[in-house]
Structure 1
Amino acid sequence: MHETRTLAELVTAGWSEADLQWEKLSEAALAALAEGQVEPARELYAQALRVARTEFPPNDPRLAASLSNQAVVQPVSSGRIEASAAQAWASCGRWIDTMTAPRTARSSLFHLRMERLHRPAYEERWRMKARDMLEALRRDHGAMDGLELLDRDAAAQRLLQWDRERPAGMSDPRKFMAAMILLGFRRKAQGTGMEQVHTQAHTGANSLQ
């Protein structure tokens, strides 16, 4: 399902055009992989990386995701990119430390008041979940040579996961979930590594909305 956002809505939510552009490019790259279109996916991931390098801070998880995607889709020149990706993932904890949570609609006045009263605790709960997800990904990220490009079925499943689990609002948790889910690769050994990361992303999605 495609979303349409106006510039005014982005500004109100604290997002920039680059934030939305990166998400759309990364989603389109995954969609290309789901259709078996590897070359278009390479170009889209390259465009997303250019946006991330130009517009995002060095500790932004979306930059780390773009570097990792680029290392997998362009393996011939991936040595330097692999090192940059590992360094970027290692620095993401500082980005999580400053992550803010959106003001979400609550089913009752009581829950709304509780969220306002315990706002720091709500935000820290989201940060803790994000740290757990990041650590799971980093544990699996040590050897890039053990990763492979998603095949059509796996890319389609990843795309469905994003469509199902992305936070509705424009928020820091949405940026983080995009970095965790819109990855075009997986661990070669089926059922381990990256698949565990995305299982954790599935279980943690509601907590980050």
Structure 2
Amino acid sequence: MNFMTTTMFAPRIWGFDPSTPEVRIARQSGWRMADILWEYLMEQANVAWTQDDSARAAWGFRRAAWAARLFFAKDDLRHATVMVNQGICAQARGQMTRAQRCFAKALVCWDAHSERALADIQIAPRARSSLFHLRMEARHRATYHANMQLRLSKISAEVRAAIAALADGNTAECRLFSRWRGEKPNVFDDTRKILGACLLIIDADGV
């Protein structure tokens, strides 16, 4: 399927405007329209959940799932993210069998693919407030990358524990989506995709 064709009608079909400055920056950074759309749909669905609009949230997560199935590789962690949220939505409706099925599938996906996703991550240079900091990052880029991968690995492990808790019928003892705005990188690279997969999940206390 041609994604550019589907996004011609994005405001009507997806509720998404592909002509914004942020979309242009993301595209110039190498992101596909599918990456941008998925993040948008997941953000909007999570916001709807925080506003107690569970129907709009569930619909948003379904659309994000469609986008992921159409345009992402099967080993993409963002499939697991959608499944977790769909499980939480099902749980809230009392559909416990469906919820547990979603959580179990998400856990399998995370266990199968998170290590490789972190190992293969491509990290773009960050905007720095001074030439000194820019030079320091360039000089110690390997160390910077290693530290970033370690930080993302810790977040991934936290998310894995949350998914496992849900799969076991327990509460996920962590907050995720509420951290997204603070953690979201200001550049469009693999760290933003990984953090999106980790943090665009309904907060535990919102279940």
TM-score of Structure 1 vs Structure 2, range by shorter chain: 0.7 to 0.9
Task: Give 2:54's match in structure 1, choosing from 4, 13, 38.
Answer: 38
Deviation track 1:18-43 (CA, whole Å, cap 9, x = no partner) reads 11111111111111112211111111
Q: Measure, in 2, the Cα distance between the counterparts of 1:185 and 1:122.
A: 29
Let me know the Cα RMSD of the aligned residues.
2.7
Post-superposition CA distance 1:75-99 (Å, at most 9, x none):
4323432222001111211111111
Deviations along 1:60-88, one digit per CA (max 9) or x if unpaired, are 33222111111121243234322220011
Q: Does 1:171 align with 2:195?
A: no
- Counterparts in 2 of 1:93 and 1:121: CA distance versus 1, 3 Å: same
Alignment match, 2:170: 146
Local SS of the residue matching 2:164: coil
Q: Return the alpha-carbon distance in structure 1 between the equivalents of residues 193 and 162 of structure 2.
A: 21
Give CA-to-partner distance per residue, 1:102-134, whole Å, 9 cap, x none: 212234434333322332221121111111111
103, 106, 111: which one pairs with 1:82? 103
After superposition, residues 1-209 of structure 1 pair within 5 angstroms as: 4-5=20-21, 8-75=24-91, 76=95, 77-90=98-111, 91-144=113-166, 145-147=169-171, 158-159=177-178, 161-186=179-204
Structure 1 segments, 4+ long, off by >6 Å, are none
Distance (Å, rounded) in 2 between the aligned partners of 1:188 and 1:116: 41
Paired residue for 2:11? none
Deviation at 1:6, TM superposition (A): 5.8
- CA shift in 2, pair 1:39/1:107, >3 Å: closer
3-state DSSP of counterpart to 1:146: coil
Unpaired segments of 5 or more residues in structure 1? 149-153, 190-209
What is the percent sequence identity of the aligned residues? 28
Q: Which amino acid aligns with 2:143?
A: A
Contact 2:83 2:105 in 1 (8 A): yes
Does the CA-based 8 Å contact 1:59-1:94 persist in structure 2?
Answer: no
Matched residues in 2 for 1:187 and 1:34: separation?
10
